[in-house]
Amino acid sequence: MGMRPISYSTGQKVLHWTIAALILAQVVIGILIAQILKPGPVTDTFYEVHKSFGLTILALALVRLAIRLWRGAPPLVEGLPAWQRTAARASHYALYALIIIVPIIGWTATSTCCAPVKYFWTIDVTLPANGGEDPMEASKPIFRIHRALALVLAGLALVHAGAALHHHFVRRDDTLRRMLGSSKSASQAAKPV
């Protein structure tokens, strides 16, 4: 794997915050379409936006994972108790997994019940799926998994954001700054090992 970088690249930061913003939108829009809005043209537009944002997240997440595997990430800040290091690593792996799995399951469910799945009203991106006699019924368990994992993702992201704020305001270390600021100042602040 070679040397570990001492900060996140600009691409990693931009992808981190873009995906975070899109996921916030996804959870709000997902709950609106599934629980709150009545069928109609406005709801249809939200469905199209939810599916297309979700596919965008999947594409960005794959790019981000590739960068992560190729470039790596800076080591965790020093002085953390072992359980926090373990929790940080485990939650980062889980977040990477969920931002890939949750959209794939939504895409599969929608391809089963409601073809064609289009990207922002244009290209047909329907997955080959066999819904049998009653595609709507066949899609239901897949949508239940989509919802359950989306809620796990949302919950974990909240704990993760809480941890970031704890680092910044309570521990007063560089964890949040190095995901936000310019790479230059972050690398000056970090102590290379």
Q: How far is the CB of 152 from ligand HEM (least distance, A)?
A: 10
Which of 49, 60, 73, 115: binder of ligand HEM (CB under 6 A)? 73
Task: Report the distance separating Cα 117 and Cα 83, nearest Å.
Answer: 43
Task: Report the distance separating Cα 77 and Cα 190, nearest Å.
Answer: 9
Binding footprint of ligand HEM, residue count (CB under 6 A): 46
Measured from the CB atom, the residue of 17 and 133 that comes closer to ligand HEM is 17
Please report whether residue 112 would count as binding ligand HEM according to CB under 6 A. Answer: no
Task: Report the distance separating Cα 57 and Cα 131, nearest Å.
Answer: 25
Measured from the CB atom, the residue of 29 and 133 that comes closer to ligand HEM is 29
- Select from 175, 110, 99 the least CA-distant residue to 143: 110
Evaluate whether 94 touches 156 at the Cβ level (below 8 Å).
yes
Residues in 4-43 at the binding interface with ligand HEM, rule: CB under 6 A: 16, 19-20, 23, 26-27, 30-31, 33-35
Q: List all residues 6 or more positions away from 129 whose beta carbon is below 8 Å from its beta carbon.
A: 108, 111, 112, 115
Which of 49, 164, 166, 189: binder of ligand HEM (CB under 6 A)? 164
Please report whether residue 139 would count as binding ligand HEM according to CB under 6 A. Answer: no
Q: List all residues 6 or more positions away from 190 whose beta carbon is below 8 Å from its beta carbon.
A: 6, 7, 74, 174, 178
Which of 42, 66, 136, 161: binder of ligand HEM (CB under 6 A)? 161
- Retrieve residue 123's tokens: 């290209």
- Retrieve residue 46's tokens: 């939200």
DSSP letter for each residue of 101-169: HHHHHHHHHHHHHSPPPEETTTEE-PPP---TT-HHHHHHHHHHHHHHHHHHHHHHHHHHHHHHHHIII
Residues in 77-106 at the binding interface with ligand HEM, rule: CB under 6 A: 88, 92, 95-96, 99, 102-103, 106
Which of 129, 142, 153, 186: binder of ligand HEM (CB under 6 A)? 153
Q: Which chain residues interact with ligand HEM by CB under 6 A? A: 16, 19-20, 23, 26-27, 30-31, 33-35, 47, 50-51, 54-55, 57, 68, 73-74, 76, 88, 92, 95-96, 99, 102-103, 106-107, 110, 117, 143, 146-147, 150, 153, 157, 160-161, 164-165, 175-176, 178-179
